[in-house]
Structure 1
Amino acid sequence: MDASVSDQSAASPLTVGIVGIGGIGSKHARALREVPGVVLDAYSGGTPSSGADAGWPQARQVQHRELVERPDVDVVAICSPSHLHGPAALAVARAGRHVVVEKPMALTTDEADELVRLQDAGRCVVAVVTQRRFEPVVTALKAMLDGGGLGQVRLVVAQMPWHRDEAYFEAAPWRGEAASGGGSLLNQGVHLIDLVQWLCGPVATVTAQAGTQVGARTAEDTTVATLAFRSGAFGMLATSTATPPGHDATLAIYTDRGMLEMTQGVITQWQLPGAPPQAGSAVPGGGADPGAIGLAGHRAFWSDVAAAIREGSLPAVDAHEGARTTALLCAIGEAARTGATALVHGADPSRGAAAPNQGV
């Protein structure tokens, strides 16, 4: 990475600006209070008191564009609606500044590929918010699967039967708009989808169906998909925000040696060799209430980002990782629209001809 970009003194605080402090942005602001050597300098959106409300009374409220262009902010965190993630992250990266971007990193593979290119050229660090990867059980499970001790993955079943009431969509209408990146797949299911491909390996092709079961919103509220992994394994995925009262998301992995099931960072079934990884308690989930999601994962995520910037390295979830998840989301969206099997962007060409870059 270019020294002009990566040189960050360990003695000086890392300054952060948040684009869009409302909603998830305020959660990031509160998590930053628990990360040593990091300071929230400025934010956009919200109210003049939003910074103080999140524990940062000295943080200044500024306009979006001013925040993106401020040279005294080391890291810009993009917490705006999903369709703005890619364009805003690209603007920050092209300015040679570090960028943290909420999930999904982008809505098209073209935007995702360009962020990868800018990061690889040494322009900046790009970090994608996927806090579930930092849950203790998830990280332990990743090591066990990669080490081969749990056997070869054969089947994956991932389900997210959540619920969001009308007030949730009225508070932020973009959440129900397809063009803005709303819907159960992109706005809620993305974390589960990220875990599926990170733990079980890259997906080659998908089929899918999606629809809106409640109201007249343009974004789907229920998606089901089948996944064909490059390894030869298969998977089933279901996401919904139309299943009251809202239930915990589950991930079941079946291998040639047995099976496991994980619910909210806790192993609930274990029929495999050895002892399962243990968690002190369940990770708060958002099955019925998005406000119930805890700060521990965000705190661990930001600690990793800060360490990477200070060391001149890349974070655990960089642009390459974000691009893989964007590619899978785009393929599921394409398959649901066309009714045909879709190739995941960047997948092994032997599985079929490459599809053109397009959005979800």
Structure 2
Amino acid sequence: MIRFAIVGMGHIAKKHIDAIEKADGAELAAVCDTNPERLSDVSGVPVYTDMETMLKENEQIDVVNICVPSGLHAPLTRLAARYRRHIIVEKPMALCTNDAEEMIKAAKEYGVKLAVVHPNRFRPAIRKLKEAMERGMFGKLSHANATVRWNRNQAYYDQAAWRGTKAFDGGVLMNQAIHNLDLLLWLMGPVKAVQAMAATRLRKIETEDVAAAVVEFESGALGVIEAATTIYPQNLEESIAIFGETASVKIGGRTANFIETWEAEGVSEEERAKLIDEINADPFGKSGHQWIIEDMVQAIRENREPIVNGWDGLAPVRLIEAILRSAETGARVQLSQ
């Protein structure tokens, strides 16, 4: 068994615990939180209020799952690496590229594996889209659209002092839209340049609650990004759409789980209906967190990189930094030549 410890017992920790319990070859070995009250309901495993103490005392731990506020990901990743534990870190892996690069460097230096939680890649509809793109179904790509139109009201941000801060949380791009941006990059490839605007319109936070950007991919295709937590009165949609010379596909719904459009040269109406029925029968599939946990188990056993590794986690952070820099300066920002 590969033994996991969770650091940070906030709301996302439950997904990690559930995933570990369901995953083949995984076992929960410990939990840690600086707030003892969050540990009061934990039973069956050792609990700790200090991560370094946990790492020193519990040699059974193979992997540390870092589920603390985003601004703390980098130092805790470096700490886990120094104690030669493999690492799964929640999104975003860091709030700036320098920290993300340091995390990758630390994992390499100490010979441990680093995985980043971008679970949307494992949604059934998204996997079908990725397979179609790898088969060349779209021909030459025209453009893509990534949209997150969600509601996070003021009460959401007021739950904890760190929410909506630049130091620990980030705004709509880093916190809510980063999964969608990960999909955009995974499907379309690296971004060459970006032009953007961002604003804090409705929420009393330090960071942006709405942003829009146009990107140019290295392939020459274009992309449009829209992200907002200002949608009234509840989440409206998360979608990813890809357009090419021989296909148009949109995966949508409130959380990008359903095929809304699937038009492709050579695909019959019967084939399309069968695909949509297949997705509708199980739109959520196996938990993305479970995929990440099980992949880490296999990565350790096979001594390979995780499917979603540190470099994958760095890419959307780098893109978001460029979007915010463009929004601040009003200039087009180059990511690559």
Taking structure 1 as the reference length, what is the TM-score of the superposition? 0.83
Runs (5+) with no aligned partner, structure 1: 1-12, 284-293, 352-360
Which 10-residue stretch deviates more, 225-234 or 30-39?
Answer: 30-39
- Partners of 1:76 and 1:97 within 8 A in 2: yes
1:65 aligned partner: 52
Alignment partner of 1:282 is 2:271? no
2:250 aligned partner: 261
Query: 2:231 is paired with a residue of what secondary structure?
Result: coil
What is the deviation of 1:153?
1.8
What are the within-5 Å matches in structure 2 for residues 165-176 of structure 1?
165-176=153-164
What is the deviation of 1:82?
0.9
Query: 2:105 is paired with a residue of what secondary structure?
Result: helix
1:133 aligned partner: 121
- Partners of 1:16 and 1:39 within 8 A in 2: yes
Q: Deviations over 1:268-293 (max 9, x none)?
A: 1111132455423333xxxxxxxxxx
Query: 1:156 is paired with a residue of what secondary structure?
Result: strand
Q: Deviations over 1:87-123 (max 9, x none)?
A: 2112212332200000111222222223333444561
Q: Deviations over 1:277-335 (max 9, x none)?
A: 5423333xxxxxxxxxx971111221111111122111100112112222112211211
What is the deviation of 1:146?
2.0
- Partners of 1:14 and 1:39 within 8 A in 2: yes
Q: Distance in 1 between matches of 2:262 and 2:86?
A: 40
Q: Distance in 1 between matches of 2:120 and 2:186?
A: 11
What are the within-5 Å matches in structure 2 for residues 203-218 of structure 1?
203-218=191-206
Q: Distance in 2 between matches of 1:83 and 1:272?
A: 43
Q: Deviations over 1:10-60 (max 9, x none)?
A: xxx2111111011111221122110122121111225233434xxxx3342
Amino acid corresponding to residue 334 of structure 1 in structure 2: R
Amino acid corresponding to residue 301 of structure 1 in structure 2: I
- Partners of 1:160 and 1:189 within 8 A in 2: yes
- Partners of 1:251 and 1:262 within 8 A in 2: yes
What is the deviation of 1:258?
2.8
CA distance 1:295–1:183, shift in 2 (3 Å):
farther
Query: Would you say how many aligned residue pairs link Structure 1 and Structure 2?
Result: 320
What are the within-5 Å matches in structure 2 for residues 1-360 of structure 1?
13-45=1-33, 47-52=38-43, 57-69=44-56, 70-121=58-109, 123-244=111-232, 245-263=234-252, 264-273=256-265, 274=267, 275-276=271-272, 277=275, 278-279=278-279, 280-283=281-284, 296-344=287-335, 347=336, 351=337
CA distance 1:49–1:250, shift in 2 (3 Å):
same
Amino acid corresponding to residue 51 of structure 2 in structure 1: H
Q: Distance in 2 between matches of 1:65 and 1:122?
A: 16
Amino acid corresponding to residue 237 of structure 1 in structure 2: I
What is the deviation of 1:84?
0.9
Q: Distance in 2 between matches of 1:211 and 1:50?
A: 40
What is the deviation of 1:139?
1.9
CA distance 1:220–1:67, shift in 2 (3 Å):
farther
What is the deviation of 1:66?
2.2
Which 10-residue stretch deviates more, 153-162 or 69-78?
Answer: 69-78
Which 10-residue stretch deviates more, 309-318 or 165-174?
Answer: 165-174
Runs (5+) with no aligned partner, structure 2: none
Q: Distance in 2 between matches of 1:146 and 1:173?
A: 44
Amino acid corresponding to residue 255 of structure 1 in structure 2: G
What is the deviation of 1:177?
1.1
Amino acid corresponding to residue 321 of structure 1 in structure 2: D
Cα root mean square deviation, aligned = 1.9
- Partners of 1:105 and 1:323 within 8 A in 2: yes
